[in-house]
Amino acid sequence: MTTEATSVTQGHRSAVRRIADMLQLLQDSVPIQRRVVRAGDTVYQVGQQFGCLYVVSSGFFKMVNLSGEGREQVVGLHFKGDWLGLDGIATAQYGCDAVAMDTGEVWAIRYDELLQAAIRTPALLTALHEAMSRELTRDHDSMLSLCTLPADARVAGFLRYWADALAQRGLRTDQFTLRMTRAEIGNYLGMTLESVSRALSRMARGDVIRFTEKGRRDIHIPQVEALTSFMRSAAPMSAAALH
């Protein structure tokens, strides 16, 4: 294993511990209302009065907003350990819809009770600030990708992002089911469905990925690092943006 691969693996293990510790801290420190959701269920809607933050205990969630033309736009993805609803703090209203992409569980935490608990347990406030910081970083990286990378590199980067998110939660990355249609992936990446399909087909022909069933949503990735190599080959002038 290379030094770079070892560093990545250690980072994933650190993330697994951080998420587990944060979830345990919440259980020990603040009242939690658990809610089981299924694909298509809405956790909250845009314009709804803000009162709770939500933490993903399991499952996959997408943030959806309406574009100026009235089209649904996927603006964010969230996994186990992520916080939902942070955009509602400033305006007292949620800024988008939070929709489940699979069976999962979210924890609802009243914001006023969280702040009161943070007085007794400062680590709660640290966890909240870290969640906000990660959200800002994720938004920055997403915009950088959309602004600088060509189509094939965007799709490869999306798969790498998904695989890394699974690894950071202790889940397997060599084979997984995409919880989004190609149209949704294109919507999220600012691409057409056809462009997404062509990029996936090129990766499959190069054996960067393999499809394991007819629906082509179950993906096998022999080597996750090959996605990064594919990104670099697709965008040689933008290699610096991959670090």
Query: Model confidence over 192-226: pLDDT tens digits?
Result: 999 999 999 999 999 999 987 655 678 999 999 99
Of 142, 145, 178, 172, nearest to 159 by C-alpha is 178
Q: What is the DSSP letter of 50?
A: P
**DSSP string covering 177-232:** E-SS-HHHHHHHHT--HHHHHHHHHHHHHTTSSEE-STTS-EEE-S-THHHHHHHH
pLDDT at 185: 92
Q: What is the pLDDT of residues 9-49, one digit of tens each?
A: 776 788 899 999 999 999 999 999 999 999 999 999 999 99
| pLDDT reading at 125 higher than 60 | yes
Torsion angle defined by CA atoms of residues 226, 229, 231 and 232, in that order, rounded to the nearest 10 degrees: 180
Angle between helices 151-167 and 182-189 (to 10 degrees): 100
Distance of CA 179 to the CA centre of its chain: 11
Q: Are 156 and 170 in contact (CB under 8 A)?
A: no
For residues 18 and 182, what is the distance between their CA atoms, to the nearest angstrom?
32
The per-residue pLDDT of the chain, averaged, comes to 88
* Residues 59 and 89: beta-carbon distance below 8 Å: no
pLDDT for 239: 44
134-158 pLDDT, tens digit each: 888 877 676 666 667 888 999 999 9
Alpha-carbon gap, residue 236 to 230, rounded angstroms = 10
> Among 74-88, 168-182, 209-223, which is the least confidently predicted range?
209-223
Segment 53-71 shows an average pLDDT of: 88
Phi, psi of 42 (to 5 degrees): -100, 125
Q: Which domains does the chain have, with CATH numbers?
A: 3-139 (2.60.120.10), 149-242 (1.10.10.10)
Strands (DSSP E) contained in 79-139 are 83-84, 97-100, 104-110
Share of the chain above pLDDT 90, in %: 65
Residue 8, pLDDT > 80, answer no
